[in-house]
Amino acid sequence: MKTLLVAIDFSSVTDDVLDVAARMARALDARILLVHVTPPDPSFVGYDAGPQTVRDAVAEEFREEHRKLHELQKRLEQQSVNAATQFIQGPTVEKILEEAGRAGADLIVVGSHGHGALHQLLVGSVSEGVLRKAPCPVLVVPSPKGQ
């Protein structure tokens, strides 16, 4: 196993996902590819803000997500883990799977948010979508207790 694709969403499960992936990467002498997928459209489209205001807000959000992703990469490198980042915009499950294929990932590591059955039925989940269509094994890290 040489490449672990680790999908990061900056939620409460992110630290646990990163810790599990780092332990695996060190044990297997593997490299980690941190992938963050941001939605294709800003969630606030339709508000009354003008187009430049919307573009500025989206740009600032992207800069912040980039910064966070690179901080996670540095954290891994401080733990002697070879890590790279990929920031992608688009449909989350499809982009994770595309990147896994492109990178030749041997394992995909994702977090689970622990939403209930009704949420799963109505909304679905990224971890479930990745599990169903992944080109390689998938490790799902559960959300922290009570979150």
The mean predicted confidence, pLDDT, of the chain is: 85
Q: Is residue 65 part of a domain?
A: yes
pLDDT over 70 (residue 141): yes
Decide which of 54 and 8 is more confident. Answer: 8
| pLDDT score recorded for residue 52 | 74
Q: Is residue 33 part of a domain?
A: no
Q: Is residue 86 part of a domain?
A: no
Report d(CA 106, CA 21) in Å as an integer: 12
Question: Do residues 96 and 5 lie in contact, with contact meaning Cβ atoms separated by under 8 Å?
Answer: yes
Question: Do residues 69 and 8 lie in contact, with contact meaning Cβ atoms separated by under 8 Å?
Answer: yes
Q: Is residue 124 part of a domain?
A: yes
Report d(CA 62, CA 121) in Å as an integer: 30
State the total domains in the chain.
2
Q: Is residue 27 part of a domain?
A: no
pLDDT over 80 (residue 75): yes
Task: Give the pLDDT confidence of 109-134 residue by residue, as tens digits.
Answer: 998 875 555 444 433 588 888 988 99
Q: Which domain holds residue 47?
A: 43-77
Query: Of 45-49, 73-77, 141-145, which has the strongest mean pLDDT?
Result: 73-77
